Amino acid sequence: MGRVTYDFDDETVVVTGGSAGIGRAVARRFGAAGAHVINADQREDPKAEGEDVPTHDVIAEEGGSAEYVETNVSDREDLESVVEGAHEHGGVDVMVNNAGMQNSGPFLEVDPAEFEQLHDVNAKGVYFGTQVAANDMLDRDDPGVIVNTASISSEDAQHDQVQYDSTKGAIKMITRGAALELAEHGIRVNAVAPGQIATEFSEGWSEEAQEAAGEGGGGDDGFLKPVPLARAGFPDDLDGSYLFLASEEADYITGQLLYVDGGWTAI
By annotation, the residues acting in catalysis are: 164
Do the beta carbons of residue 126 and residue 171 sit within 8 Å?
yes
Alpha-helical (H) ranges within the chain are 21-32, 55-61, 76-85, 112-119, 125-139, 162-182, 206-214, 239-246
Q: Which of 157, 114, 115, 150 is nearest to 130 (CA)?
A: 150
Q: Which residues contact 184 (CB under 8 A, 6 or more apart)?
A: none
- Angle, CA of 247, 179 and 176, to the nearest 5°: 110
Q: Which of 73, 74, 62, 75 is nearest to 95 (CA)?
A: 73
Helices 162-182 and 112-119 cross at an angle (nearest 10°) of 30
Do the beta carbons of residue 31 and residue 5 sit within 8 Å?
no
Q: Which of 159, 140, 144, 131 is nearest to 225 (CA)?
A: 159
d(CA 3, CA 145): 23
| Integer CA distances (angstroms), 213 to 5, 24, 140, 240, in order | 30, 24, 47, 22
d(CA 205, CA 207): 6
